[in-house]
């Protein structure tokens, strides 16, 4: 069964990417979001592969493309389709990366907006990337987290973009079940939970997926971007699935009217 999903992921990827490409559409149009994101390309690439050797990627495929590539696809798609609503489950919570004082600490003095080399690239820094790269499109970005301290830090990290941000301290399931966004979410970023132990995180992602499908939260042109699908940490702790925290949610989405757009370190899905 697992092998079938692995093959399905690769086939789906090839269908939409084309050879070596990273676009949703054929046009050569350069998006402003992509230009902004390119400033952070090296940080995003290093953060994606942090702590892993090439030899640790599964033998059946090349090292997957980094968060930089899938953020670029997602942001440019949002821009080209005149997206309005972004929802992120699991917020950017740290002022610094794990190698520096201040990682996951509350003191805002650790935040260095002029020194991106200090930021928490290991976690992806999606909230800041989405705010900075998409601000010119005047979106509404909802970021959701269980922990009030994490949202408080995120408010500092995104303070220059406060006018486009909506911060929510609640569980992802509560937000998805109660929000008034049926058919309206243009970019949905799924990033709750930890990599170890993986089972509760995978179950949480399945619960989120069920609400997303049952409440039809995605807009017709919307996409779902799932972080850390091919993070190798769960495998170091005995996990056998190739899909980590998305091992239940991706099959569920594929069985409920969604298809793959990209299948890399992160996975992108859209409605068929
Ligand atoms: C990996 S971090 C998110 C990283 C962030 N998206 C980024 O790109 O920097 C995971 C976050 O999920 C939050 N979280 C865990 N379980 C949650 C739940 N059930 N509902 C909402 N947030 C949750 C944690 O508090 C944590 O801040």
Ligand 1 residue neighbourhood (C-beta within 6 Å): 88-93, 123-127, 144-147, 150, 171-172, 191-193, 204
How many CA within 13 A on the CB side of residue 49?
A: 16
Q: Which residue in the block uniquely carries the two structure tokens 């990337």?
A: 129
pLDDT band at 27 (very low <50, low <70, confident <90, very high): low
- pLDDT, greater one: 27 or 267: 267
- Could you tell me if 223 and 270 are in contact, meaning their C-beta atoms sit under 8 angstroms apart? yes
Q: Please check the confidence at residue 53 and state whether its pLDDT lies above 90.
A: no
Q: Please check the confidence at residue 198 and state whether its pLDDT lies above 80.
A: yes
What are the residues whose beta carbons fall under 8 Å from the beta carbon of 59, sequence distance 6 or more? none
**CA-129 nearest atom, ligand 1:** 8
Distance from the CA of 123 to the center of ligand 1, in angstroms? 10
Q: Is the dihedral of CA 79, 25, 125, 260 positive or negative?
A: positive
Q: Is the dihedral of CA 54, 56, 60, 64 positive or negative?
A: negative
Distance from the CA of 92 to the center of ligand 1, in angstroms? 8
**CA-125 nearest atom, ligand 1:** 9
* Domains contained in the chain, CATH given: 2-18+34-271 (3.40.50.150)
Q: Percentage of the chain surpassing pLDDT 70?
A: 86
Distance from the CA of 171 to the center of ligand 1, in angstroms? 9
Other residues' Cβ atoms within 10 Å of the Cβ of residue 165? 21
Q: Please check the confidence at residue 70 and state whether its pLDDT lies above 90.
A: yes
How many CA within 13 A on the CB side of residue 210?
A: 9
Instruction: Summarize the confidence of residues 89-94 as an average pLDDT.
Output: 98
pLDDT digits (tens, 9 = 90+) for 240-261: 998 999 999 999 999 999 999 9
Q: Is the dihedral of CA 75, 114, 65, 268 positive or negative?
A: negative
Q: Which residue in the block uniquely carries the two structure tokens 């054929």?
A: 26
Distance from the CA of 60 to the center of ligand 1, in angstroms? 30
Q: Per mean pLDDT, which range of 56-70, 200-214, 232-246 is the poorest?
A: 56-70
Instruction: For the chain, give the mean pLDDT.
Output: 89
> E strands of 67-226, at which residues?
85-89, 140-145, 165-169, 185-190, 218-226
Instruction: Summarize the confidence of residues 42-54 as an average pLDDT.
Output: 87
Distance from the CA of 26 to the center of ligand 1, in angstroms? 34
pLDDT digits (tens, 9 = 90+) for 103-126: 999 999 999 999 999 999 999 999
Q: Please check the confidence at residue 128 and state whether its pLDDT lies above 90.
A: yes
Peptide bond into 197 cis (omega under 30): yes
- Could you tell me if 185 and 222 are in contact, meaning their C-beta atoms sit under 8 angstroms apart? yes
Report the alpha-carbon distance of residue 129 to residue 120 in Å, rounded. 11
- Could you tell me if 91 and 151 are in contact, meaning their C-beta atoms sit under 8 angstroms apart? yes
């Amino acid at each position: 069964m697992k092998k079938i999903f692995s093959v399905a992921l690769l086939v789906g990827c090839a269908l939409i990417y084309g050879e070596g490409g990273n676009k949703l559409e054929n046009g050569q149009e350069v998006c402003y979001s992509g230009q902004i994101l390119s400033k952070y390309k090296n940080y995003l690439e290093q953060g994606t592969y942090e702590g892993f050797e090439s030899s640790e990627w599964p033998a059946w495929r090349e090292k997957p493309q980094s968060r930089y590539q899938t953020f670029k696809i997602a942001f440019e798609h949002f821009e080209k389709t005149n997206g309005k609503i972004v929802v992120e489950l699991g917020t950017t919570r740290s002022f610094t990366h794990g190698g520096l004082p201040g990682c996951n600490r509350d003191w805002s003095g650790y935040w260095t907006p002029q020194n991106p080399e200090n930021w928490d690239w290991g976690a992806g820094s999606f909230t800041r990337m989405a705010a900075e790269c998409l601000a010119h499109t005047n979106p509404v970005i909802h970021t959701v987290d269980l922990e009030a301290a994490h949202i408080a830090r995120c408010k500092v990290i995104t303070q220059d973009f406060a006018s486009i941000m909506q911060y929510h301290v609640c569980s992802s399931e509560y937000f998805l079940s109660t929000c008034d966004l049926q058919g309206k979410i243009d970019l949905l970023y799924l990033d709750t939970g930890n990599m170890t132990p993986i089972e509760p995180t995978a179950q949480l992602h399945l619960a989120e997926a069920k609400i997303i499908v049952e409440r039809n939260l995605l807009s017709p042109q919307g996409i779902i971007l799932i972080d850390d699908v091919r993070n190798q940490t769960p495998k170091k702790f005995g996990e056998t699935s190739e899909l980590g925290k998305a091992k239940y949610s991706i099959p569920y989405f594929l069985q409920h009217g969604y298809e793959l757009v990209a299948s890399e370190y992160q996975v992108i899905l859209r409605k068929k």
